[in-house]
Structure 1
Amino acid sequence: IEEFMRAHVAQLFNPAVEISIADKQTFGRLCQDAHGREMFAKFVNMQRCNSQKVNESTFYKLTHSFALVLFECYDADDFIPCKTLMNMAFTYYHVPEISSMQFSQETASDNDTKEKSENKKQKKNKNLSKKGTNGSSSIWKAANLWVNKEIKGIKDSLSAMENGDKTNAEEKKSTINQNNNATKEKDDEKVYLYDALKNQVIWKSLRFWNAAFFDAVNVERQQHCSQIGWNDLTPEERENANEVIRNVTFGQLGTFINNMKYLGIGQKTCLEFLRKQCIIGNLSKELYQTLKCQIETPLPC
């Protein structure tokens, strides 16, 4: 399982590699195993050392694979790999190649080519979902259906961006010619994986958020706190340890609330999660109010 997942993740991040039907079916089968999901999350996490920016091909391959693993995590109440994949969904991004020069150079034939390409991709995805004959094929079919819907939403948004920019194409043309690649990337819109994964059912589960939060706090607490037994600590050391735990809890709550909001979780669920974790973490009313304000503050447009 480990060797297959290592090789499979490497293929996902290689834009020149097209995943075979057989490998997709094997991947779907291994994702039904807890060790398989753990290894997938582990190797995806390791890939961020190479680059967090991926091209279009890798972006869509990752979207399909994440969808399947998140579905299996939800079905098996396996929340730790899901927590890792959530963090990776906020890590990997794709920068669409949109520029005013491209808009001014587009022709009717280009639009026809794009439309044929999209139809070809949709047809290919439908064929892939029909070919699977083992137990994992129905899961791939379900994953492909909703992922295609999410990807269509992202492409529609990018199309709207293109139409809005066309009117200013000529004014910006000379400026764009002078920009280098670094400046261009800052101006471009980053599309993160979570944008295509917002409708995953596991995000709606408070059990996932509570379990993932407990694991995140526990991991960070082990990094900051002494390994000496609690009974061996002096009163001052115990108070210092409690303060560290409160700070860790507060920091992690801020991160989790932010993720919940970007994944479309409603205020009611966020507040329920916050209340429970503040009680467990023994946070003060002032810290609770600070985090409550974070929930109630709209996300930037």
Structure 2
Amino acid sequence: MTAEIVCLTSQRVNNKKVDEQIFYRLVQFFAIALFECNDSEDFGPAKILMNMCFTFFYEDGRPPNKQFLYNYLRDQAVWHSLRFWNAAFFDALQYERARRPVCANGDGQEHLMDDRHFQENITFGQLGTFTCNMRAFGLSKELCLEFLRKQCTIADLREDQVRMIRENVERCSDQYGQ
């Protein structure tokens, strides 16, 4: 199954819009793959599929014109697992941290402050994305806020950052009608 996911990942760079028949085949494939990921607690591929749910779409001519995969995959059990969200969030943070160039000549306090700000910014950005994704998949506002509270405590985010993400969860609630 991982080979299929890698193939889909490379395809989404070229073409995000698919015709209706392909779209519904993707819905079926994703549903099966997500079931397997949840059943085996293999959350890496599920995280990749989550991102693809917000990428692939077809246009049916009715408002809203773009129909994304996430609209059809909200009932998947993996989305309702906090284990998935915690694992996917940790993986996303690790990925972003690994992309940072290593500074060989950091000079003490200034280097530590730069690193602290870098870590804060990564966590802040990922939490905004993840909580909005959680709402899009139909998770309750309360569950999203609990996830946010735990992750903000772990990361020791500033109160103004926490407030902005909370406000984002509220906006996502309005956007997704939940």
Q: What TM-score does the superposition give when structure 1 sets the normalisation length?
A: 0.55
Secondary structure at the counterpart of residue 91 of structure 1: coil
From 163, 166, 170, give the equivalent of 1:296: 170
Aligned to 1:199: 75
Alignment of 1:7-26 (within 5 A): none
Q: Structure 1: any 5+ residue segments left out of the alignment?
A: 1-35, 99-157, 162-187
Q: Which amino acid aligns with 1:282?
A: D
Please tell me whether residue 88 in structure 1 is matched to residue 32 in structure 2. no
Structure 1 residues 207-230: Cα deviation after superposition (integer angstroms, max 9, x where no partner): 10010011111111111252659x
Q: SS at 1:94's partner residue?
A: strand
The partner residue of 1:238 within 106, 109, 112 is 112
Q: 1:67 to 1:233 in 2, by over 3 A?
A: farther
Asked if 1:221 corresponds to 2:58, the answer is no
For 1:273, give the aligned amino acid.
Answer: F
- CA distance in 2 between counterparts of 1:59 and 1:65 reads 10
**Corresponding residue of 1:52:** 16
CA shift for structure 1 position 281:
1.4
Deviation (angstroms), 1:233: 5.8
Task: Trace 1:58-97 onto structure 2 (pairs within 5 A).
Answer: 58-96=22-60
Distance 2:44 2:166 in 1: 26
Contact kept, 8 Å, 1:41 with 1:81, in 2: the verdict is yes
**Distance in 1, Cα, partners of 2:160 & 2:167:** 11
In percent, how many aligned pairs have the same letter? Answer: 41
CA RMSD of aligned residues (A): 1.9
Q: 1:299 Cα deviation (Å)?
A: 2.9
Map 1:113-128 onto structure 2 (within 5 A).
Answer: none
Task: Return the offset for 1:264.
Answer: 0.6
Residue 272 in 1 paired to residue 175 in 2?
Answer: no
Q: 1:177-224, CA deviations, whole angstroms, 9 ceiling, x for partnerless residues?
A: xxxxxxxxxxx6100011110100110001100100111111111112
Change (3 A) 1:55 1:218: same
Displacement over 3 Å in runs of 4+: none
| Change beyond 3 A, Cα 1:211–1:233 | farther
1:47 offset after TM fit, Å? 0.5
Count of residues paired in the alignment: 175
Opposite residue 10 of structure 2, the aligned amino acid is M
In structure 1, give the amino acid aligned to 2:86.
Answer: N
Amino acid in the other structure paired with 1:193: L
Q: Are the equivalent residues in 2 in contact too, given 1:198–1:264 (CA < 8 A)?
A: yes
Amino acid at match of 1:205: S
Partners in 2 of 1:42 and 1:291 — Cα distance? 31
Larger Rg: 1
TM-superposition CA deviations, 1:55-98 (whole Å, max 9, x none): 011001111000000000000010010000000010000001x3
**Matching residue's letter, 2:42:** D
Using the TM superposition, give the Cα deviation of residue 280 of structure 1 relative to its aligned residue in structure 2, in angstroms: 1.6
**For structure 2, which runs of at least 5 residues remain unmatched after alignment?**
none
What is the TM-score normalised by the length of structure 2?
0.91
